[in-house]
Structure 1
């Protein structure tokens, strides 16, 4: 006797199991769940897969999201400790890793999180050989390099979340000082997502008006208005949030969602993401650092060649040297 489903529905073809926009999030800590929630709530993907080694928390997070699936417009949320569930992912977002402690720099995390990457990246590529990897775990520039080496994927398909969030923080702080909306303040933080990042003061503008054209000392030693303090605030902001609430989550989740949208929608948006920078701005090191980059369905398509000042270029090259030195100490 036919069941209720058979009496209600007459199948005419087998439904697709993957609509082409499947996103895997590895790690269901605060950052991973903020990424998953942002992607689902903005309806960037309707198929999100969660992976973690802590089964109880993993299944609990899955159920919690599934129970709100009606409000997400009927998305599919799946989860497992077995990486086979990630098969066919268009994008794999890696947030897993040991958490940054108060007072600890991102670079201090390198070796501990290198071991984590070794247990994750090969499995993701095994089940989704055509995927794009988006690394979020810190120190993100070093771990993106490690993921690239472990994955065997083309450099265009391995990117890091980089200074996309730093640039957002920068634009927010600019907006507060100028009294206009962050979206109307244009400025970039490039280089390391960390202490050696570079504020591109020469390109900061509002409505096409470069601030250095109306105040040449902007961000420099002779700046009596202390604009340079904004860059210091950007660098310190993550440490401040960690000190206050124990971790960062919401802003990085929204940043990752924006990057995800650029890739899944083949949007061609420009984001400050960590890419292989050898050959750019006189850098001869095989390192990953953030530059404004165009993202589409195949990952990285173009890198914007910013007209940096000599001081900005030197600072970026110094950032590359720091990354290269750290990479030399990695135990594979």
Structure 2
């Protein structure tokens, strides 16, 4: 990424977008932030509110703007779109949001934007594919938030179960950010110890406990939406984590939605997988050796997404 400015253009200042902006400011993860929304007054209000917090944070230039402001952004983060309502799955949002995204991406590209897209709107795997399809950018520069939040939920619940700091738990959720996602127990570790060496994975009691943890991860959004209408704090922090990995050229491994071209025996599909993230975007997809059941889960999740993409784009 040449002429790096540390500039983020955020499209969508709803619950997720405004939470991302707040987390970005608190963590000092960018130098410039422009807020873009159809509701210009909302974007202006958020910009003023965030600017009033600058005496308590790192320096950052924050303003409400328009698509033309994307032209020199290093990163465009899209959180705009229809939200998941109670009783709706993420895949129910496909038709509503693809048309919205076609308009957004076309406007961004008309500005002369040549940076990285980061997509958070659901269904994130489908809409990240749509962003790549509409933008014409290389696959490494179009990233979805994927299963980064699901992975964080899994780490939190495992840490709570074993009474260990979640930052010392290493485990992945892979697949669709949705109902067909799955845990990769074969690569889960607590500190440096593989999970399978800490507990008896063949015990029925252990299997029941792990299944309960996973179900709570998979269904977390439904429970939160029932109680407060939307989820936004966790995903906002996940987006900042990806932003920092890009801006700081970290080469960190995060479970994002990435385009597969032969990895895991899949092609032309965005799906949640571990990948190395740096200033160029996705440096490499990590192809984990999965157990047989995990391979079956991945194939099922991938085929579910492929069916939706094929219908949406009439491939």
Q: TM class, shorter-chain normalised?
A: over 0.9
Query: After superposition, what is the alpha-carbon deviation per residue over 1:168-222, rounded to whole angstroms, capped at 9, x for unaligned?
Result: 000000011100110111110011101100100111111222122344536x867
Partner residue, 1:94: 78
SS of alignment partner, residue 255 of structure 2: strand
Contact 1:79 1:85 (C-alpha < 8 Å) held by counterparts: no
> How big is the shift at 1:317?
1.1
TM-score (norm 2): 0.95
Matches within 5 A, 1:1-332: 20-80=5-65, 82-217=66-201, 223=206, 225-283=208-266, 285-330=267-312
Shift of 1:74: 3.0
Give the superposition deviation at 1:94.
0.2
| Aligned-partner SS, 1:323 | helix
Give the conservation status (yes or no) of the 8 Å contact 1:40–1:46.
no
| CA distance in 2 between partners of 1:138 and 1:104 (Å) | 11
Distance change >3 Å, CA 186–CA 296, structure 1 → 2: same
Asked whether the 8 Å contact 1:134–1:158 carries over to 2, the reply is: yes
1:303 Cα deviation from its structure 2 partner: 1.6
- For residue 328 of structure 1, report the CA deviation from its aligned partner: 1.8
Question: Is there any run of 5+ residues in structure 2 with no aligned partner, and where?
Answer: none
Per-residue CA deviations over 1:43-70 (Å, capped at 9, x if unaligned) read 0102001100012211111111122222
Q: Distance in 1 between matches of 2:45 and 2:27?
A: 22
Could you list the runs of 5+ residues in structure 1 that have no partner in the other structure? 1-17
Q: CA deviation at 1:85?
A: 2.0
Superposed structure 1 runs of 4+ greater than 3 Å apart? 213-216, 220-225
Report Cα offsets for 1:79-111 as digits up to 9, x if no partner: 12x311222000000000011101100000001
Provide the secondary structure at the position in 2 that maps to 1:228.
helix
- Please give the root-mean-square deviation of Cα atoms over the aligned residues, in Å: 1.7
Query: What is the CA deviation profile of residues 264-291 of structure 1, one whole-angstrom value per residue up to 9, with x for unaligned ones?
Result: 11111111000012311222x4211111
Number of matched residues?
A: 312
